[in-house]
Structure formats: structure tokens, C-alpha cells
């Protein structure tokens, strides 16, 4: 009798806990939608995103909120992605980790940036700048255009949409 009581109590307690977990997960799942979370990478974990085996156009842009020319050209990538649904844009932010919630996410929302955004947090830039492109000085914005066959690097902002489109076409159609 005592045993049964004990079992019932414990069963009820553990099922309560299980129930709470389910609720938490449901809440978290909605926050996990790709537009909400900004993953943080160091260079080693980011690097695989800079190459592809697919015959698909990728545009990876290094930028930061504190870089005026970077912000100015962000809409160009958005526009390209909209006009070319098979192309993929990745915006690699060099902003500070502590600013993600308070500054970066509100900024992206305000500017209507819906492209995929990740954050690169790796202090020894002298090492990974050269791993990306030995001709890159480290100044941003910096863009890589690539598919499985071709690749091009662009330091500095694109002049306008036509400029971006031309550079992409020149790379992909080589």
C-alpha cells in the first residue's frame, strides 16, 4: 500500500517534469526558426560555409554594423537573392557577440534584412584573413562569390546592383 502510494506520487511528479520540458521545447522551437538565431562561429567552424560542391551560386559577404559602406550595400544582396531564388547569400557579421540581442537583431529587423546571418567571433584575424584570401587587407566589406567551379574575391563595396550582378555573372560564367 505504502509502495503504491510512493510510486503514484513519484510517477505524478516525473510526468509533471516531463510536461514542463515539453512546454519549454515548444517555446524554444519557435525561437529556433532560422531567422531568429544568429549562430556564432570561429573561423575553423565557419570555413566549410565558404566552399561548395554544388553547382549553385553562393555570395558570402563580410560586414559589420559599424561599417558604413557595408550597411549601404546590404540591400543589394537582398535584391539579388530575391531575383535569383537559386542563389544563396550569407552575411557574415564581424560585430560583437555581446551586441547580438541588443543591437544586431534589432538592426536586421529595422533594415528588413532576411538573408542568412552568422557571426564570426575569432580574434586572431591576422591568421584567418589570409586563409580566406591572401590579397585581402582585412578591410570590410569583403565578398566571396563562388560555386563548385569558380571563385572570385571582392574587397570594397559594390557600386550598385548592376555592378554586383556583373561581377557575379563574370565569375559564374567563366
Partner 1 sequence: MKKNNLVVAIIILVASLSLPVNAIAQEKKGPPPNGERKGPPPGKHSPEQTETLKDMKGYTIGDTATDFKLRNVDSAFFSLSDIKDAKGYIIVFTCNECPFAKMYEDRLIALHNEYAPKGYSVIAINTNVTGGNEKESFEAMQKRAAEKKLPYVYLEDKGQKIFPQYGALRTPHVFLLDKDLVVQYIGTIDDNAKSAQDVKVKYVESAIQALESGEKPDPNFTKAIGCPVKIN
Residues at the interface with partner 1 (CB under 8 A): 2-3, 6-7, 10, 13-14, 17-18, 21, 24-25, 28, 31-32, 37-41, 44-45, 47-48, 51, 53, 66-69, 94, 96-97, 100, 123-126, 129-130, 133, 135-141, 148-156, 167, 170-171
Q: Which is nearer to partner 1, 12 or 82 (CB)?
A: 12
Q: Are strands 58-63 and 88-93 parallel, antiparallel or unpaired?
A: parallel
Helix axes 68-83, 161-172, angle to 10 degrees: 60
CA distances to 9, 14, 32 from 19, rounded to whole Å, are: 15, 9, 20
Q: Which is nearer to partner 1, 49 or 84 (CB)?
A: 49
Q: Which is nearer to partner 1, 84 or 99 (CB)?
A: 99
Residue 120, beta-bridge partner list: 41
CB of 32 to partner 1, least distance (A): 7
Q: Which is nearer to partner 1, 94 or 113 (CB)?
A: 94
Distance of alpha carbon 64 from alpha carbon 96, whole angstroms: 9
Nearest CA to 140 among 74, 64, 42?
64
Amino acid at each position: 500500500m505504502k509502495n503504491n502510494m510512493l510510486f503514484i506520487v513519484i510517477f505524478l511528479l516525473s510526468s509533471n517534469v516531463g510536461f514542463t520540458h515539453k512546454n519549454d521545447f515548444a517555446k524554444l522551437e519557435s525561437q529556433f526558426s532560422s531567422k531568429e538565431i544568429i549562430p556564432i562561429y570561429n573561423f575553423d567552424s565557419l570555413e566549410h560555409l565558404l566552399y561548395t560542391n554544388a553547382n549553385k551560386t553562393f555570395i558570402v559577404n563580410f560586414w559589420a554594423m559599424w561599417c558604413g559602406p557595408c550597411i549601404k550595400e546590404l540591400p543589394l544582396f537582398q535584391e539579388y537573392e530575391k531575383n535569383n531564388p537559386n542563389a544563396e547569400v550569407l552575411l557574415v557579421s564581424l560585430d560583437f557577440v555581446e551586441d547580438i540581442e541588443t543591437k544586431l537583431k534589432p538592426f536586421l529587423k529595422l533594415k528588413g534584412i532576411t538573408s542568412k546571418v552568422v557571426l564570426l567571433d575569432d580574434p586572431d584575424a591576422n591568421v584567418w584573413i589570409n586563409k580566406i584570401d591572401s590579397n585581402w587587407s582585412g578591410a570590410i566589406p569583403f565578398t566571396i562569390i563562388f560555386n563548385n567551379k569558380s571563385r572570385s574575391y571582392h574587397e570594397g563595396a559594390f557600386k550598385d546592383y548592376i555592378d554586383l550582378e556583373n561581377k557575379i555573372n563574370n565569375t559564374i560564367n567563366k
